[in-house]
Structure 1
Amino acid sequence: MKIFVINPGSTSTKVALFEGTQCLWTETQRYDAAELEPFASVTDQESFRYDRIAQILKDKGVEPSSFAAVVGRGGLLKPIPGGTYRVGARMLEDLKSMAYGSHASNLGAALAVRFAAAAGDVPAFIVDPVVVDELADEARVSGLPEIPRISIFHALNQKAVARRAAAELGKPVSECRLVVAHMGGGISVGAHCGGRVIDVNNGLNGEGPMSPERSGSLPVGGLVSFCFSGRHTLAEVQKMICGRGGLVAHLGTNDLREVEKRVAAGDEKARLVFDALCLQIAKEIGGSATVLKGQVDAIVLTGGLAYSDRLCEAVTARVSFIARVMRYPGEDEMQALADGALRVLENREPALDYE
């Protein structure tokens, strides 16, 4: 069964063709600012991106009629449980209206539907979008009722590596208790209980560890004073929290490899910030272990930062007393999307409807 995968990013679209679990080929199409400038919104780019993807298929001699399904990256929708979702009219309406936010991933479902139609009305899916919400009720409560905690995290990769870890442990994911730390440009650490993420930090909006580009949790009193100092606008503060925080704020780079080079060269400030990053990740993992009452089958390190031996060794040294530490570097989104569609096609799990 051939599955066509579409993953739109802000300045690129990745596409891939899978046969079962095997990737036959993948391509990344990049767009410069001038190409995207005429479009007033992300959703206006749909036909432009469709035509460019169609040209890739034509160049490769691939007929859409060979597809068993098409799967797109999930966008900003209302909170939903994890799983593989059929793309339907309600989902497309919410994505096109940007009711829950604007992001290039909002195009994934619309593009999947169009290529599914070209394939002869095969199913179109999305899998585990960032808005997956399986939080326990008590995990939603913050110290202010006006500001509840919300679930936004790297659901696609966290769910995928949880399944890999479960397979390696020889247990179904429905019987596993895992702490999964996705460590990339943003960092999210989830407590996985029986296949559901019952607690997770919202790394996008300032919870949890700092990361290469995000501030993570900040001293609340200091943040309030900072916001009301009159020196910064709301937009500027939001950018400091997400985009210009973390390693960028301290060291002027979001590249952990550059930071490690500075540490190796004897840069004490770089060493201090690196050690703080590792400490904060370990603390978040430890906190998630308490959500699972200390009954943890494994701690899983994943994402781009998991390629760093130095970081993973430092984190492992602090958390290995809790449980076995497993490591799956990177975030293979295309494989995870294809696998989600394949599970439905092979009747290993049901397709869900967005209602």
Structure 2
Amino acid sequence: MDLYKILAINPGSTSTKIALFENEKELYKKTLDHSNEEIAPFERITDQYEMRYNAIMNILKEIDFDVRELSVVVGRGGLLPPVKSGAYSVNDVMIKRLVEKPLLEHASNLGAIIANEIAKPLGIGAYIYDSVAVDELEDIARISGMAAIKRSSFSHALNMRAVGIKVAGELGKYYSDMNMVIAHLGGGISIGMHKSGRLVDIVSDDEGPFSPERSGRVPCKKLMDMCFSGDYDKKAVGKMMRGNGGLAGYLGTNSALEVEKRIAEGDEQARLVYEAMAYQVAKGIGELATVVDGQVDAVVITGGIAHSKMMTDWISKRVQFIAPVVVSPGENELEALANGALRVIKGEEEAREYVDSF
């Protein structure tokens, strides 16, 4: 059997997670934390690529790993214009888009840039897999209700699809033959309707449940009044929506563990807010079940907060009438990236070529 060494890279807002794999076997995993002092000098996220690249190369040197052993490098896919699910080869057009005109400043935009920086001198492939911008929405799902605004798809597609494939296999089925509602519970929360292997509709982190640090869906008129009150500028409102929203806004912490500790100590406000988050997740799951006329084979709860039995029990109680609930905790992005790249280099899946018209 051929053995392939794979480096997977998942940049986050204050950390870069990396892992080395030999085929499906994980050899090494590390989270490289970046302090506020390290990040502060950079005006744009993509300006951080050299700092993060150097951090990765230094840690590989520390563990005495020779990068010339690598077969492929794969990075988290960033906020590109809509792309299909699966693998894309990193090319100059993709790098140009991410550097010069990303749809949104987001740490995931660094995935392709760093992967390319490592792979190019080695003469090996660099890929992204299941980008944040995977968009397979059906036409009817794009109608927002306001003609000037078209719905698009930004979600935790990487982990959701990986977990969907895994759960289908555990049930003795294929992902492409199932209808699953998959909820990813992390710092942000998104929920997807996976219909016969396609992510046909979502409840994104600005359309649905609040999360540890994001406000989710809020009353539009009251938000509009706030924006035009003169009391807040765009940056302040943006921070209330992403960063200081959700649990952080109500309880002063974005830590689910801290909130559960407070609940255990009898804090009723913490319990109310935390249960409200579960309540809103359940509403989002129910909303997406209608997309397939209720013909849902499984409801899957994943992400870091899915480790919380309190949270998953609250959600399961409300949605178990829809379909059997499967809890698959954790954020498996690095494994999903590596497995996707492995399928490409083994010829089991073909990588798409990224094109753009900007």
Provide the TM-score with structure 2 as the length reference: 0.93
Write the distance in 2 (CA, Å) between the matches of 1:247 and 1:184: 12
Write the distance in 1 (CA, Å) between the matches of 2:50 and 2:224: 44
Counterpart of 2:143, as a letter, is: V
| The one of 79, 98, 101 aligned to 2:101 | 98
Could you say which residue in structure 1 is the equivalent of 2:25?
22
Could you say which residue in structure 2 is the equivalent of 1:192?
194
Could you say which residue in structure 1 is the equivalent of 2:70?
67
Distance 1:234 1:346, change over 3 A: same
Deviations 1:150-194 (A, max 9, x none): 211111111111111111121111111000000111111100011
CA shift, 1:140, in A, is 0.8
CA shift, 1:231, in A, is 1.9
CA shift, 1:110, in A, is 2.0
Write the distance in 2 (CA, Å) between the matches of 1:73 and 1:226: 35
SS in 2 for 1:347: coil
| The one of 113, 122, 126 aligned to 2:124 | 122
CA shift, 1:38, in A, is 4.2
CA shift, 1:210, in A, is 1.3
Write the distance in 2 (CA, Å) between the matches of 1:116 and 1:2: 12
Unaligned runs of 5+ in 2: none
Could you say which residue in structure 1 is the equivalent of 2:230?
230
CA shift, 1:51, in A, is 2.9
Moved more, 141-150 or 215-224: 215-224
Report how many aligned residue pairs link the two structures.
352
Write the distance in 2 (CA, Å) between the matches of 1:24 and 1:35: 28
Counterpart of 2:106, as a letter, is: H
Distance 1:124 1:244, change over 3 A: same
Write the distance in 1 (CA, Å) between the matches of 2:211 and 2:37: 31
Could you say which residue in structure 1 is the equivalent of 2:53?
50
Write the distance in 2 (CA, Å) between the matches of 1:341 and 1:75: 16
Counterpart of 2:66, as a letter, is: E
Write the distance in 1 (CA, Å) between the matches of 2:276 and 2:107: 32
Distance 1:43 1:259, change over 3 A: closer
Seq. identity, %: 49
Could you say which residue in structure 2 is the equivalent of 1:243?
243
Could you say which residue in structure 2 is the equivalent of 1:323?
323
Could you say which residue in structure 1 is the equivalent of 2:167?
165
Could you say which residue in structure 1 is the equivalent of 2:139?
137
Write the distance in 2 (CA, Å) between the matches of 1:266 and 1:284: 28
Unaligned runs of 5+ in 1: none
Could you say which residue in structure 1 is the equivalent of 2:208?
208
Moved more, 172-181 or 221-230: 221-230
Write the distance in 2 (CA, Å) between the matches of 1:81 and 1:339: 17
Write the distance in 1 (CA, Å) between the matches of 2:252 and 2:114: 37
| The one of 10, 13, 19 aligned to 2:16 | 13
Moved more, 316-325 or 167-176: 167-176
Counterpart of 2:320, as a letter, is: S
Write the distance in 2 (CA, Å) between the matches of 1:251 and 1:213: 10
CA shift, 1:291, in A, is 0.7
Write the distance in 1 (CA, Å) between the matches of 2:42 and 2:209: 36
Q: Deviation above 4 Å: which 4+ runs of structure 1?
A: none
| The one of 96, 109, 112 aligned to 2:112 | 109
Could you say which residue in structure 2 is the equivalent of 1:297?
297
Could you say which residue in structure 1 is the equivalent of 2:150?
148
User: Are the equivalent residues in 2 in contact too, given 1:199–1:288 (CA < 8 A)?
Assistant: yes
User: Are the equivalent residues in 2 in contact too, given 1:150–1:202 (CA < 8 A)?
Assistant: no
Moved more, 41-50 or 215-224: 41-50
Write the distance in 1 (CA, Å) between the matches of 2:312 and 2:65: 41
Write the distance in 2 (CA, Å) between the matches of 1:69 and 1:59: 20
Distance 1:141 1:46, change over 3 A: same
CA shift, 1:35, in A, is 3.4
* 1:238-317 correspondence runs (5 A): 238-317=238-317
CA shift, 1:105, in A, is 2.3
Distance 1:271 1:174, change over 3 A: same
User: Are the equivalent residues in 2 in contact too, given 1:76–1:98 (CA < 8 A)?
Assistant: no
Deviations 1:107-138 (A, max 9, x none): 2212212222333x111111111111111111
Counterpart of 2:178, as a letter, is: C
1:80 aligns with 2:83: yes
Root mean square deviation of aligned Cα: 1.6
Write the distance in 2 (CA, Å) between the matches of 1:55 and 1:228: 48
Moved more, 217-226 or 345-354: 217-226
SS in 2 for 1:244: coil
CA shift, 1:37, in A, is 4.2
